Amino acid sequence: MTNFEDTILSQFANSVTIINLVTKMNEWIRPDADLDNFYNFVFNVTTAQGFGLDIWGSIVGVNRIDFPVNGAEMTDPQFLELVMLKALSNISRTTAPAINQLLRNWMAGRGKTYCTDLGNMEMGYVFEFELEPFEITILTQSKIFLRPAGVGGFGMTTNFPVFGFKGMGTAYAAPFGQAPFISQGALVAIS
């Protein structure tokens, strides 16, 4: 604190003990550094860490303990993804464009991802790439993926190409026997 001497009442200005206490407190507690640390580790969601990120999780309604990945707690970067997804799903509508935007925000730069109408009151979330274990945990256990009331949800992840014919010559097609149509374990139910 600057000019901490001005904060001492005049009746205590000559007290050696109080002056020493206030001087030492001023050395130990630096409001400028503490405010910066509070902002970076707690208040700013994009830089929050540890307990600060847990506070953000409780604000949006998720807890990292509820989503173990391979038996361990989510790391801070993994939990930040869950917190941001939950925040966005809290304010989004259950329309295909809103769901597709949520998926694009989540998987930016990873590949194609989108929702599809499977008919019979079911919708699918398609990921044209492999998901990490924590992403599968988020997808299947978080209950934050939007879908209209009464509609079931399924996620599909696979590496392209998945099916094709010889001579097609496209990046997403391969001759028979080169790739499965839907590999085992590629379809997961979304709660």
Domain that holds residue 117: 94-191
Contact (CB, 8 A) for 58 and 114: no
pLDDT digit of tens for each residue in the chain (191 aa)? 667 777 777 777 788 888 888 888 877 777 666 788 889 999 999 999 999 999 999 999 998 888 888 888 889 999 998 899 889 888 888 888 888 888 888 888 888 888 888 788 888 888 888 888 888 888 877 777 777 777 877 776 666 555 545 554 445 444 455 444 444 445 555 55
Residue 62 placed within a domain: no
Residue 74 placed within a domain: no
Residue 151 placed within a domain: yes
Token readout for 187 is 């379809």
Residue 138 placed within a domain: yes
Contact (CB, 8 A) for 147 and 123: yes
For the full predicted model, state whether its pTM sits above 0.85: no
Residue 113 placed within a domain: yes
Number of domains within the chain: 1
Residue 180 placed within a domain: yes
Residue 71 placed within a domain: no
User: DSSP assignment, residue 132?
Assistant: P
pLDDT in tens, 100-153: 888 888 888 888 888 888 788 888 888 888 888 888 888 877 777 777 777 877
| Beta-carbon contacts of residue 82 (< 8 Å; ≥ 6 apart) | 57, 62, 64, 67, 74, 138, 142, 144
Residue 143 placed within a domain: yes
Scan for tokens 């190409």, then name that residue.
161
